[in-house]
Amino acid sequence: MWKAAVFVFLLLNMEKQVNAAVDKKSSRTEEHMKTEEAEANDTNPKSGTVSPAFLGNLLVVPMDGSHWIGIKAMAQEMGRRGHGVTVVMPEITMRMGPGKHYNTVIYPLPYDKDYVDSLLASHKDVMKKSAKNFLEKISSHFSQIKKSTGLIHTTAESLLFNDSLISHLAQQRFDAVLTDPVVPTGSLIARQLGELCNTWIICVCVSVNLLTSLC
């Protein structure tokens, strides 16, 4: 239990540090960029590593789209520092994908990529200027919101009701779950896993600008 608590503290402390770094205005010199690239390629294994006694096992349940950018940066950094990081993602995504410093677990969906593409296309159409009157525009926006929430709901159900996957995740005995609070899927997963192996939950709204601070 103490190990999980320390791990959660380290993760929250790192999130606080990188958010503070985003607020500072700094220019990157060529030498700085080379140093960061060397660290990313693990040429200096001592830099940014954590004592084995404090290494934890982290499950990441992200949200797709722009929200993924910041969560990915944190997942990559935690993995680079030696923690075990597993990211759960659907088989069809807009931006999510594998990374060097984390493992991925893919779950199936009842819809295909064409459906997602059509949803994105209709969203762009709604955002364009048109000759529709006010009520027609409002109706179009509500219709698009209904489609988007339906997609999110279906995606969440595909994960939450996948008993074999939940069982597999429980066997990994994660110390904490990092998730986006916009969608409660990660919180529900953490609650299920917490009942089995005392898993902590961390909900983080990560700024997109973290990408430049961590990667």
d(CA 208, CA 68) in angstroms, rounded, equals: 8
* CATH 1.20.140, applies to 2-108+162-214: no
User: Domain coordinates of the chain in residue numbers?
Assistant: 2-108+162-214
Question: What pLDDT, on a 0 to 100 scale, did the predictor assign at position 124?
Answer: 81
Residues forming beta bridges with residue 107, ordered by sequence position: 90
Burial readout 95-110 (b: 16 or more C-beta within 10 A, e: otherwise): ebeebebbeeeebebe
Cβ count near 208 (within 10 Å): 13
The DSSP output letter for 88 is E
pLDDT in tens, the chain (215 residues): 555 555 555 565 655 554 555 455 444 544 454 455 545 454 444 455 556 657 889 999 999 888 898 899 999 999 999 999 999 999 999 889 999 999 999 999 999 999 989 888 887 877 776 777 878 888 888 888 898 899 999 999 999 999 999 999 999 989 888 988 888 898 899 888 876 555 556 655 544 343 334 33
